């Protein structure tokens, strides 16, 4: 398909981002697209020459979102636009760029064929997380990377009961526990010793954080059913969703995680490879001639 109306979303906290965003906007217009800006991006950068829309309006009126920034910027807007099934292209101005894979210095030659319909598309799963207290849901959040249950900043470890579906798995004593999607397997879960999960696999990784028992190892799970994590002991425990939403937990509270009905649509330049991304970002090529 050829795109007609693109929304621009930017890492508006970054210094000097406005000229870059305007350059991207001019390029899109030269390619024959109508262009608008995410409302928060426009307000923070002072861009006033384009229509500014809320994420809900972008989802209804646009057929493409171009995200300029790093993976954090992409995570934030992906959570909002996934329910609208809107495809996203990421122009990387950050450090990692696992999911913003178009280099800023080569965005024109990468985007031109994509805008004409020559691209590769992939869908990434998301996590629906919620917190339950005394049989009532008190909090819910959508995550693209992970749901993390962890101890307080000044407290000792927490004890967590883990159930998957109808099966009791274990009681863990640790600094916390990560449930990560394949996308999130290269984020916090990776630094905590978890495996990398290819995004084509319908699974999650369950990764203890600094477990008191060394035999508590990361495990790969199918992504159907429900994972329940109950706070058994420990002070100031909390749950967060993509390191964004945060809620405090009491003993007996449960964090429940299911696969979201929504998926994120990513568009990549033709020839894009997940393995090539890993080689570049994790520096697997070092030492190879």
User: What angle do the packed helices 17-30 and 107-115 form, to 10 degrees?
Assistant: 40
Q: Which of 274, 73, 98, 88 is nearest to 188 (CA)?
A: 98
Q: Which of 200, 157, 206 is nearest to 177 (CA)?
A: 206
| d(C-alpha 39, C-alpha 121), whole Å | 26
Q: What is the DSSP string of 50-118?
A: SEEE-HHHHHHH-SEEEEEE-HHHHHHHHHHHGGGT-EEEEEE-SS--SS--EEGGGHHHHHHHHHTT-
Chain position carrying tokens 């996934």: 82
71 labelled catalytic: yes
Q: 38, 71, 223, 253: which one is catalytic?
A: 71
Contact 284, 106 (CB under 8 A): no
- Measured in residues, the chain has a length of 289
Catalogue the active-site residues: 71
């Amino acid at each position: 398909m050829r795109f007609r109306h693109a929304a621009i979303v930017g890492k508006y906290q970054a210094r000097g981002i406005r000229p870059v965003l305007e350059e991207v906007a001019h390029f899109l217009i030269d390619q024959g697209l109508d262009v608008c800006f995410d409302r928060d991006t426009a307000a923070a950068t002072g861009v006033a020459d384009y229509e500014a829309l809320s994420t809900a309006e972008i989802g209804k009126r646009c057929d493409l979102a171009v995200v300029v920034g790093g993976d954090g910027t992409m995570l934030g807007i992906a959570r909002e636009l996934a329910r609208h099934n809107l495809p996203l292209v990421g122009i990387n101005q950050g450090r990692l760029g696992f999911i913003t894979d178009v280099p800023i210095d080569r965005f024109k030659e990468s985007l031109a064929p994509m805008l004409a319909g020559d691209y590769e598309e992939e869908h990434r799963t998301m996590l629906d997380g919620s917190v339950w207290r005394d049989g009532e849901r008190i909090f819910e959040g959508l995550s693209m990377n992970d749901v993390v249950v962890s101890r307080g900043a000044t407290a000792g470890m927490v004890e967590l009961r883990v159930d998957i579906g109808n099966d009791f798995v274990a009681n863990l004593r640790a600094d916390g526990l990560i449930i990560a999607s394949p996308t999130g397997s290269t984020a916090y879960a990776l630094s905590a010793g978890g495996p990398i999960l290819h995004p084509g696999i319908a699974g999650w990784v369950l990764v203890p954080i600094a477990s008191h028992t060394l035999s508590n190892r990361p495990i790969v799970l199918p992504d159907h059913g429900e994972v329940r994590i109950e706070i058994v002991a420990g002070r100031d425990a909390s749950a967060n969703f993509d390191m964004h939403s945060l809620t405090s937990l009491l003993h007996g509270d449960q964090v429940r995680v299911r696969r979201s009905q929504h998926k994120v649509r990513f568009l990549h330049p033709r020839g894009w490879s997940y393995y090539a991304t890993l080689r570049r970002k994790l520096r697997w090529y070092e030492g190879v001639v």
